[in-house]
Structure 1
Amino acid sequence: MNKQKSNLGVSRREFLRNSTLLVAGTALAPYVLTTHAAPDSPEIKVGLIGCGGRGSGAIRDAIKAAP
């Protein structure tokens, strides 16, 4: 099989691969880029990320303050 390149320097295989990636990316973009917000819920009062020693105490105090 000859590896002939067009005047632009792109082989057929590269063109097909890049075209496939472009079409797949365009088709999947709405699913990947959409964000879903959590529904409103009265159950979540306080959230803490990365609670260490002091954070654990802080979250306990916050829950006790506003049950």
Structure 2
Amino acid sequence: MTEKSNFSRRKFLTNAAALGAVGVIGANALVSCSEKKKTVELNLPPLLDQAPDGKPLKAGVIGCGGRGSGAALDFLNAGPNLVIHALGDVFQDRIDDCRN
């Protein structure tokens, strides 16, 4: 006589999802009911359209294929005093193409 269990993966996943939703909703309800509201102020620097003029910034490119070369060009076009200082790739021909 073998008894077949009524517990299946579908029931397990349904119960786990329901328990997770209750946990998230319950935690938010507890936090929102507290009297003290904490506000966090972030003092982030302003986002600039171009790199500021100043000391030269050096960058290295790892992977001189299409994405690496494009990223290098984007870096160089981002502002004044930007220099690609090093190139690295597995294939020498890609390094040579990127250098040109």
Query: Could you say whether these structures have the same fold, taking a TM-score greater than 0.5 normalized by the shorter chain as the test?
Result: no
TM-score band, normalised by the shorter chain? Answer: 0.3 to 0.5
Q: Identify which of structures 1 and 2 has the higher relative contact order when contacts are C-alpha pairs closer than 8 Å and 6+ apart.
A: 2
TM-score (norm 1): 0.35
TM-score by length of 2: 0.25
Structure with more of its chain in strand, by fraction: 2
